[in-house]
Amino acid sequence: MPELPEVETVARDLQRWVAGATIREATVHWDRTIRHPQPAEQFVAEIAGATIRRIDRRAKTVLLHMVDGRVMTVALRMTGALIVAEPGTPPDPYARVVFALADGRELRYRDTRKFGRIGLWPGGGLRSVGAGRGARSRKVAEGVRQYRVGEVFSGHGPEPLARRFTVRRLAERLSRRSAKLKALLLDQGFIAGVGNIYADEALWRARLHPLRTADSLNEAEIKRLHRSVRQVLRQGIANRGSSFSDYVGADGEPGENAERLAVYRRTDQPCYRCGRPIRRIVVGQRSTHFCPRCQPEPVASVEP
DNA sequence: ACGCCTACCTGCTTGC
DNA sequence: TGCAAGCAGGTAGGCG
């Protein structure tokens, strides 16, 4: 999916353009886009007439907070996009859900691969960014668990750009894990929002091999990793995200960050630091790019 | 905890 | 040119 910087870009665009707008009617063209607990028709009935108060982001999910307190979550996954269309814009064959706004515009959820999911939840339980604990669900009359939006994110790790995501906190989390760095960065329960592109970029910047294990890092390396993760994400946001084929902001335009990536999809091209060709390997079924000189192989344990 | 597999989908690129 | 295989930013669930 769009990763943290791409989702942040979309959320900021939407905050500027549709905060205050009222959803007149939603049309669902692909039912499975609507995730539990609502079936698509119920979702359509419940969202009609809702006014959007503000839009922000949690992990890789766009949150549309309604004036009545409910929260619509939009997880873009691989190819999802939220695009504001002016009246008269030709229909989009890949629009899976279309929100007709009262002012005549449309907010379109476009998703070629149909992996993305939209949900509508009672508010509550969302701590300020970077919080850990989730919300407790509310028991409703018939004993049906009614999840609050905070619960959707209870399994997520800290927001890497939050103030409380400190070197110390990262060090503590790393020390308890033996997984490979690449796999950990992709694990949303470890850090929220990092995906395949920014994981590779952060490791290159930190000069850490993707196969290093978490608990093998010394203090200086942890510091570099912490700074690198935040830098690559902030740079991504500043450039409105990295676009290859599908990702676009809410303005429908691709981001500029792809051209500034150091390793991602640069296999065999020279490393910007040392000139050696970038290598591609597969880690945990995900393609992984790194510089074999700048990111030295993990040392075999000096042992028995 | 960890790693590996399959599934969910469609479209573009690559190689024969 | 044609066609099949391989690839893609994500994640959930299952198994060992």
For nucleotide B7, give the residue with the nearest CA to its C1': A115
Name the nucleotide nearest A211; use CA and C1': B3
Active-site residue (options: A254, A273, A286, A292): A286
pLDDT tops 70 at residue A132: no
HEC string for chain A: CCCHHHHHHHHHHHHHHHCCCEEEEEEECCHHHECCCCCHHHHHHHHCCCEEEEEEEECCEEEEEECCCCEEEEECCCCEEEEEECCCCCCCCCEEEEEEECCCCEEEEEECCCCCEEEEECCCCCCCCCCCCCCCCEECCCCCEECCHHHHCCCCCCCCCCCCCCHHHHHHHHHCCCCEHHHHHHCCCCCCCCCHHHHHHHHHHHCCCCCCEHHHCCHHHHHHHHHHHHHHHHHHHHCCCCCCCCCCCCCCCCCCHHHHCCCCCCCCCECCCCCCECEEEEECCEEEEECCCCCCCCCCCCCC
User: In the structure, how far is the CA atom of residue A200 from the C1' atom of nucleotide C2, in angstroms?
Assistant: 36
Active-site residue (options: A2, A5, A122, A160): A2
pLDDT tops 60 at residue A116: yes
Protein-covered nucleotides of chain C (CB closer than 7 Å) are 7-12
Name the nucleotide nearest A114; use CA and C1': B9
Write down which residues 213-272 in A have CB closer than 7 A to strand B.
Answer: 214, 245
pLDDT tens by residue, A214-257:
999 999 999 999 999 999 999 999 999 999 989 999 999 999 99
Is the C-beta of residue A288 closer than 7 Å to nucleic acid chain C?
Answer: no
Asked about A60 being catalytic, the answer comes back as yes
pLDDT at residue A245, as a whole number: 86
Protein-covered nucleotides of chain B (CB closer than 7 Å) are 1-6, 8-12
pTM of the complete model? 0.94
**pLDDT-wise least confident of A36-40, A42-46, A72-76, A267-271:** A36-40
Active-site residue (options: A5, A8, A57, A60): A60
Name the nucleotide nearest A76; use CA and C1': C10
